[in-house]
């Protein structure tokens, strides 16, 4: 094990121990709520999100038969993940009338900007990929690239 790896492991263990000590100091009620929240995340992921992603991948694979560019798949995963994480903010769950500073931003606009930028990046990568693959096919596959003489 390298010295840097040992230092990083020790720092991570120390940070984890500090976090656990803070959590234990918040009382039994908060500890139970945290365990419930963590368990709910596992159940939500393994019971709903995971199977939904597998089902979507299966359907996309059947419908498009492997013709979906990797950029589209990655962009879809990124957009879906950020959207799921943003649901509480977009729905303004937790907003309280006695504290107007909670959830006071234009989160829907921010999500739309993020989604638009993600889609533009995916489109640019797909177009770039098609141009690159078109160039490779033009010479009949007998180019002078790396490893060819």
For every residue of 103-114, DSSP letters joined together read: T-S-HHHHHHHH
| pLDDT the model gives residue 85 | 84
Lowest-confidence range among 17-31, 94-108, 127-141? 127-141
Helix (H) or strand (E) holding 32: helix 28-44
Are residues 115 and 77 both part of a single domain?
yes
Q: Average pLDDT over the chain, rounded to whole?
A: 84
List the domain range (segments joined by +) for residue 101: 69-135
143, burial (CB in 10 Å: exposed 0-12, middle 13-18, buried 19+)? exposed
Q: What does the pLDDT look like over 37-67, one tens digit per residue?
A: 889 888 988 998 889 888 887 888 788 887 8
Are residues 93 and 117 both part of a single domain?
yes
Number of domains in the chain: 2
Are residues 77 and 113 both part of a single domain?
yes
From the list 86, 80, 91, the residue with the least C-alpha distance to 49 is 80
């Amino acid at each position: 094990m390298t010295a840097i790896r040992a230092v990083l492991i020790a720092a991570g263990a120390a940070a984890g121990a500090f976090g656990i000590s803070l959590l234990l100091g918040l009382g039994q009620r908060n500890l139970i709520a945290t365990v419930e929240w963590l368990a709910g995340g596992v159940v939500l992921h393994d019971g709903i999100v995971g199977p939904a992603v597998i089902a979507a991948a299966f359907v996309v694979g059947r419908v498009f038969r492997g013709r979906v560019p990797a950029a589209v798949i990655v962009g879809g995963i990124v957009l879906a993940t950020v959207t799921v994480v943003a649901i509480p903010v977009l729905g303004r769950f937790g907003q309280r009338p006695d504290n107007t500073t909670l959830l006071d931003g234009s989160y829907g606009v921010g999500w739309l900007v993020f989604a638009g930028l993600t889609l533009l990046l995916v489109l640019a990568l797909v177009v770039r990929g098609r141009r690159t693959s078109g160039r490779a096919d033009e010479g009949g596959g007998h180019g002078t690239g790396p490893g060819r003489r």
